[in-house]
Structures are given as C-alpha cells and as structure tokens.
Amino acid sequence: MLAQATSDLFGYLTGIPALAQTTGLAVGGALPDPGDALVKLPAAWILFAGEETLEDERVGQPSVLGNGVLTFWVMLYIPYKGQADLLATQLPLLEAVKQAIHGQTASTGKRWQFQASHLVLINTDRMGYRLIFSVDSI
C-alpha cells in the first residue's frame, strides 16, 4: 500500500503543469534535490512521514488487520519574486496542490485527506511549504 499511495501522490502532483517536471520522491540522489539552490522552481517533494495504527473499536486494541493511516508530507518550494507574483501565481499553486490531492480516491478505495499546511522556509528567492495529507491504508 505504501508504494501505491506514493505513486498516487506522484501522479497527482505531476498532473499540475507547473510541477510536471519538478516533482520528486526523495531528497538527494540523481533526481532534483530541494537542497540544491539551482533546482528549477516551483518544485515538490513527496516524503513518507509515517503510519499510525487504528484501534479496533470493538476491543479497544490495535486491529489485527493492520488498519492504519499513512501520512505524507508534500514539500512545495515556490519562487518568491514579490508580493504581486505571490498573490497571482504562487498562492494559487499552493491551492492547486491541495485540490489535486484532497478527496481523490487512493488505490485502497479510501479518499485522501488534507490535514494542514505550514510555512517552513523563507528565503530571499523562495518560500517553502509543508502540506500534510493522509489516507487510510486499508
């Protein structure tokens, strides 16, 4: 399920024209790296953030079926050119990412949920956001 969910997210993000060529699944390696100051912006990285087991409500213990919630961070790096560009282009891209994922049906048949977004980087030429999404694994 983990690989399928990751693949789903990759497909949703590369379906956004601005991110079609600048979406990655890992930090480092041969693919674009958000730590690289020369990476073409905007860019997105999908990071698996963890899995939580759901309790079986009938017995108050973790389910033997391994039901869980997968959580992913989408790290979105956008260029900062000024206030007008931020309002006209970059914040709508943030919204486009949320709309591309939230409510989509995952490989498990469950729907993706948007949890939160956080500003995590402010630089003179770029801003970084962490968008958190989750999906039930079974």
- pLDDT tens sequence across 73-89: 999 999 999 999 989 98
Sheet holding 113-122, edge to edge: 23-24, 43-53, 68-79, 126-136, 113-122
pLDDT tens for each residue of 24-71: 886 555 555 555 667 789 999 999 888 887 665 555 555 545 568 999
**C-alpha angle 114-44-129 in degrees, rounded to nearest 5:** 60
- Domain span including residue 75: 2-136
What is residue 74's predicted lDDT score, i.e. its pLDDT? 94
pTM score: 0.84
CATH number of domain containing 55: 3.30.2000.10
Q: Is 87 helix (H, G, I), strand (E, B) or coil?
A: helix
29 contact partners, CB below 8 Å, separation of at least 6: none
Q: How many domains does the chain have?
A: 1
Task: State the amino acid at position 13 in one-letter form.
Answer: L
**What confidence score (pLDDT) does residue 135 get?**
93
Distance CA 113, CA 103 (A): 6
- Please give the pLDDT value at position 103: 93
- How high is the mean pLDDT of the chain? 84
Strand pairing partners for 116?
132
